[in-house]
Amino acid sequence: MTANDVTVDITALGTSMIDAARAALSDRGPALQAAAEMELRRMAGALADIWTLLAKGEIDPERAKALANIHRLSVRSVLRSVEGLGVLAADQTLQAVTGVAASVLNRIVGFKLL
Amino acid sequence: MSRRGKLTAILAAIVLALLSGCASRVAPRDEALADGLAGLQSSTGRFFDQLQLVIGTPDADWVSHAAWYEETRTEIAALRVRASASGVTNDATLDALALLDQSVAELETAHAEGLSAAEVPVLRTLFDSQLRMLVQLEAAKSRTPVAEVLP
C-alpha cells in the first residue's frame, strides 16, 4: 500500500462516516424537531390563554403569576427532555460513526483499537 | 503504508475511541422508570378529566383530590430516586422530574385556593406536555444503547 492509497482510504472512510452519521440522524433529527416545536406551540398557546384570562378579569394578577410560574417550570422541563433526546441522538450518531470507522482503522493500525 | 498515513489513522482511532468511551449525559433505559412515567401520565390525565367534570362543585375542591396529590408526590419521589440511581450527573430525566415535582406543588397551592373552569385546560396542557416529553425521552432510550456510565 502506498501513501496515495492511504489518502484514498481516509477520504473514503470520511465519506462512509458522514453517511453513517446522516443515516443515524435522518430518523431522529426531524422527529425531535417536530416534537419540540409541537410542545412549544402548545405551551405558547397556554401562555396566551393565561394572558387572556387575566385580561378578561377571570383571574387576578396573583393567580396569573402562579400560572405563569407553572408555565415556566413546564417549559424548562420540556426543554430539558428535548435536550436529553438530542443527547441520545448524538450518542446514536457517534456509535454509528465509530462502527463504520472501526473496521477500517483497526485494519490500518494493525490491532483492535476501536 | 506511509508513516504519515498510519499516524493519521491512529489519531483518528484514538479520537473516536475517546469519544465513544466518554460518559453519557443521559441515564440508561430503566423499564421500571418508563412504566412509572407512563402510569403517572395516565393518572394525571384521569385527574384532569375528573376535575373538568366536577369543576364548579364542591367535588372540585382540593380536599376531594388531596389523595391524588399525595400519591403523585410519592410516585414522583420514587421515580426521582430511581432516576438518580443511574449515577449520571445532570441527567435530563432527573432534572425534568424535579421540575415536574415543583409544578405539582404549585398546582396544589393554586388548587387549595380554588380553581376555575377556565384554568383547568391551561394547567392540563402544561402537565400533558411535561409528561409526554418525559415518556418520549424514556421511549427513545430503548432505541439507543447508551454508553456505560463512568465512575
User: Per-residue pLDDT tens for B91-111?
Assistant: 899 999 999 999 999 999 999
Does residue B39 form part of some domain?
yes
Of A70, A91, A109, the CB nearest to B123: A70
Distance (Å, whole) CA B11 – CA B118: 61
Per-residue pLDDT tens over the stretch B66-88: 999 999 999 999 999 999 988 77
Q: Could you tell me the residue range of the domain that residue B114 belongs to?
A: 26-141
The pTM (predicted TM-score) of the whole model is 0.79
Distance in Å, alpha carbon of B85 to nearest chain A alpha carbon: 17
On whether the CB atoms of residues B115 and B2 are closer than 8 A, the answer is no
Instruction: Look up the domain containing A48 and give its range.
Output: 3-107
What's the total number of domains in chain B?
1
> How does B125-140 read in b/e, with b if 16+ C-beta sit within 10 Å?
bbbbbbbbbbbbbbeb
pLDDT (average), residues A14-19: 75
B83, part of any domain: yes
pLDDT value at B150 more than 70: no
In which band, very low, low, confident or very high, does the pLDDT at B5 lie, cut at 50, 70 and 90?
low
Taking residues B15-25, report their average pLDDT. Answer: 59
- Determine which of A36-40, A56-60, B60-64, B121-125 has the lowest per-residue pLDDT on average: A36-40
Q: Which residue has better confidence, A34 or B10?
A: A34
Other Cβ atoms less than 10 A from the Cβ of A30: the count is 10
Contacts of B20 in chain A (CB under 8 A): 94-95, 98, 114
pLDDT value, residue B151: 39
Residue B73 included in any domain:
yes
Answer yes or no: is A114 within a domain.
no
CB pairs under 8 A between A and B: 172
The string of DSSP letters for B96-142 reads HHHHHHHHHHHHHHHHHH---TTHHHHHHHHHHHHHHHHHHHHHHHT
A55 in a domain, yes or no? yes
Cβ-proximal residues to A55 (8 Å cutoff; 6+ apart), any chain: none
Query: Residue B20: inside a domain, yes or no?
Result: no
Q: Indicate which of B16, B101, B131 best probes the interface with A, i.e. most A CBs within 10 Å of its own CB.
A: B16
Q: How many structural domains comprise chain A?
A: 1
Structural domain contains residue A112: no
Chain B residues with CB under 8 Å of A114 CB are: 13, 16-17, 20
Q: What is the mean pLDDT of residues B23-48?
A: 89
Which has the minimum average pLDDT: A38-52, A60-74, B39-53, B102-116?
Answer: A38-52
B136-149 pLDDT, tens digit each: 999 988 765 554 44
Is A45 inside a domain boundary?
Answer: yes
A113 domain residue, yes or no: no
